[in-house]
Amino acid sequence: MKVSLSWLKDYVDVTMDPAVLADALTMAGLEVDSVSDRYAYLDGVIVGRVDEVAPHPNADKLTLCRVNTGEGQVSVVCGAPNVKQGMLAALAKPGTVLPHGTRLEKNIIRGETSEGMLCSDAELGLGDDPGGIMSLNTSLKPGTGLAQALDLSDTVFELDLTPNRPDCLSVIGIAREIAIIQNTPLKYPDYAIEDKADTIHQMTSVKIEAPDHCPRYAARLVATVKVTPSPFWLQNRLLSVGLRPINNIVDITNFVMLETGQPLHAFDFDNLTENRIVVRLAAAGEKFTTLDEKERSLDSEMLMICDGEKAVGVGGVMGGLNSEIENDTARVLIEGAYFIPVSIRRTSKKLGLNTDASHRFERGVDPEGCVRAVNRAAKLMVEIAGGTLVDGIIDEYPRLQTAKDIELGVKRTNRLLGTDLDRNQIQQFLESIEFKVEPIDRNEDRLKVTPPTFRVDVSRREDLMEEVARLSGYNNIPTTFPAMPAEGRPPAHRIRLRNRIKGLMSGFGFTEAIAYSFVPESSCDQLRMKEPDPRRSMIRILNPLSEDQAAMRTSLVPGILETMRHNMARQIKNLKLFETGKIFLKTDQQVLPREPEMLIALWTGARTDASWHSRENPCDFYDIKGAAEALMQALKLDGIRFTAMADDACEYTRPGHSAQIMASDSPVGLVGEINRRVSDSYDLRQTAFIFELDLEKIAGLIPQTRQSNPIPRFPAIYRDITIIVDRGIETQSVLEAAENFQEKLIENLNLFDVFEGDPIAAGRKSVSFRITYRSPGKTLVDDDVNDLHKSITERLLNAFDATLP
């Protein structure tokens, strides 16, 4: 936001030095990015004396001038009719950039060299007379800078406003802040119009069909206007903040927008079919050509301003080419409206149209400012454009916008801010920015505060406390220290668990990925989740940044697959990734969602990189399963087992290549290969394996104290068992059966082979595992183990109707 000091002085008497004022505004919460000289562009313009004037040999209407610059003479080709010998004029030297963007260079005009330009006041942005060059006071010396000669000075402030201060997207808004800083009065323009009749309702009407998007729409009609260039003072105001003047009607709407913060639009009334306005939502796929001459495709959520038969503007964003102000426009309908910010923000983003109007509407304008701004523009059109004001105003207001009363406690405010302000001081601070403040039942501690309608950012007591801190001065808040020394505490158990898992996974060679918590609503369809799956019931974002971030995630799988796709597209094919994070699940009992923390790991590509002594072998199901087992072993999780899953138990893993991770009889995760259809939906051309763990469920299973086993005193004996069982029997169940025999000498069971195929009969498979036998009290010999090993083998053969190979 740019604003000039001279413009600010129209509304407040500025007494502070510009640099000091910039610091004061920054400390008041309005960061000033830069302070610049308004007339810096005149640095290349000097006072020049015309010593000689001769006709141009090759052009009847041009003259050749010899101009004294104070350091010598230069040749200048001039076309002004009032140039004469001995006059002092404004000479723009080569390299000067004029206000309208023209850069001057040494040039040859009709065969004669021109080393600059003798300028009119209009060309320099100092007046509105383009008919001849400036004639300066004869007492000036050649070579004097023009800004110095004319005593031109003005300062331009450029502010970097935060989105929560739309009230300062106006000159009056910033002047209001300066008035508070200086404790001086604010001078408002005269907005009042005394209508003698209600003629406007006989000539036009406004109908709001979408009040949820447009709660208020005001309009005035000005007749017999003449479209001409704006007077110099108006052009100068616009140029001072970097806006290009167009014509008096458009310039007035821009001026009032910059002055008040209320965007306006001017329609050529005679181009409105049936001379009326209808505010409605667009039809899906409707086409509309905006003022920038681009045809745009609309959707059913976009607000349109229409006449009796066609759209004439995109509400709050840009007008239409079919109703713009033209040179022969005679009657102007002025629009001033309040649009719901979310509606304008969505429309602006979808259309890729970011205008000065949408910038203000999407942050929130003053709903009570519509009529004032329309009145201000109408009075200026009468004054500047020679218009005749049609009596009466249209003000359709179907959805009343009111400010909410907020209760503020004095003691609580002081406690949180570290201040010692009394009730009267706080009341004075808030009333100085036009808040209405009333004590509650003569209670010295409580105030009822009503913010003005232009402060759309103030809605709770914390906002009021921020205003008190800002107005009392952040530098004036005393430094206080805690009454008690702060003592460090160990991080919470879940934080320690998360950090430990991250360290372990990194140690296993996995790289941490951090995905957005927002996902597209189609992510459940991409994972092929069935309708009964509660994860399909997603929490939708009211105002998403994009369609790809429209809902809260209910699984970490979409994020890890999107990360894989991103890397695949950049030729990174060997990946070991993991992520810890929350998912968001709707519940029937609670208003807020349940947010369990999850872990996901993904392995795709090679198991190890190729080297001189080994080939590159692709990873498989058992690699990712081994990583899951290693993690749970490091976490000292007991009773964890892997069980087969039904083919339809998980839609995003491949049937027959997945397993459920169980703790006792409760599922805590899964491991498996990503279903090919899911991979295709993410454009993945490579097999990927994942495991998921519910950290909320396993957190209570991890022992809180460190567990250690002493180094065995006596050696172990190892024996292998191979049995042939039906193919449908889970290998895990064979190992669990051996464990359940609860033989004291069995220390460990380790599966090392599962085989199907010749010479094993069809429908059967061989399962081979090693048993470690050890005694805590003596060294075992073969005779101590032989009978026990034989007994275990026979019991397994009977339990599973198995045979020996």
Domain-located, residue 482: no
Average pLDDT over residues 58-77: 93
Verify that 769 and 735 share a domain, yes or no.
yes
52: Cα within 13 Å, side-chain hemisphere: 9
145 and 159 both lie in a single domain: no
- Taking residues 727-754, report their average pLDDT: 88
With tokens 């000289």, the residue in question is 37
CATH number of domain containing 786: 3.30.70.380
Q: Is residue 468 part of a domain?
A: yes
pLDDT category of residue 483 using cuts at 50, 70 and 90: low
Residue 189 domain flag: no
Residue 703: pLDDT band by 50, 70, 90 thresholds? confident
My answer on whether 385 and 415 are in the same domain is no
Please give the pLDDT value at position 258: 97
pLDDT category at 485 given cuts 50, 70, 90 is low
Residues 778 and 715: beta-carbon distance below 8 Å: no
Of 651, 666, 701, at which residue does a domain stop?
701
Residue 194 has pLDDT above 80, yes or no: yes
Q: Is residue 712 one of the residues assigned to a domain?
A: no
Residue 489 is predicted with a pLDDT of 60
Is 8 inside a domain boundary? yes
pLDDT at position 644, please?
85
Is residue 229 a contact partner of residue 135, using CB atoms and an 8 Å limit? no
Q: CB of 317 within 8 A of CB of 271?
A: no
Residue 622 and residue 547 in one domain = yes
Q: Is the per-residue pLDDT at 497 higher than 80?
A: yes
Question: Over the stretch 302-338, which tens digit does the pLDDT of each residue have?
Answer: 999 999 999 999 999 999 998 899 999 999 999 999 9
> Do both 294 and 236 map to the same domain?
yes
pLDDT range class, residue 486, cuts 50, 70, 90: low
Q: Which of 361, 399, 385 is nearest to 264 (CA)?
A: 361
Q: Note whether residue 433 is domain-resident.
A: yes
**Last-in-domain residue among 343, 367, 396:** 396
What total of structural domains would you count in the chain?
6
d(CA 252, CA 235): 10
Name the residue with higher pLDDT: 244 or 564: 564
Among 374, 396, 418, the domain-final residue is: 396
pLDDT in tens, 241-283: 988 889 999 999 999 999 999 999 999 999 999 999 999 999 9
277 and 171 belong to one structural domain? no
Residue 99 has pLDDT above 90, yes or no: no
Could you tell me if 213 and 158 lie in one domain? Answer: no
pLDDT, residue 151, reads 84
What average pLDDT does this structure show over 471-483?
A: 78
Domain match, 279 and 346 both: yes
Tokens standing for 761? 């009969």
CATH of the domain at 112: 2.40.50.140
Give yes or no: residues 735 and 688 share one domain. no
pLDDT in tens, 515-532: 999 999 999 999 999 888
The confidence score (pLDDT) of residue 206 equals 96
Give the CATH number of the domain where residue 12 resides: 3.30.56.10
Query: What domain range includes position 785?
Result: 717-799
For position 223, which CATH number holds?
A: 3.50.40.10
| Residues 388 and 445 placed together within one structural domain of the fold | no
In a domain, 348, yes or no: yes
Check whether 441 has a pLDDT greater than 80: no
Give the CA dihedral 296, 297, 301, 306, nearest 10 degrees. 60
Percent residues over pLDDT 90 in the chain: 70
Q: Are residues 350 and 450 in the same domain?
A: no
Burial grade of 565 (CB within 10 A; 0-12, 13-18, 19 or more): middle
Mean pLDDT of the chain: 91
Tell me, rounded to whole angstroms, the distance of Cα 653 from its chain centroid: 35
Determine what percent of the chain is predicted with pLDDT higher than 70.
Answer: 98
Residues 530 and 638 reside in one and the same domain: yes
Indicate the SS3 state at residue 46.
strand
How many Å apart are CA 11 and CA 5, to the nearest integer?
Answer: 11
In a domain, 6, yes or no: yes
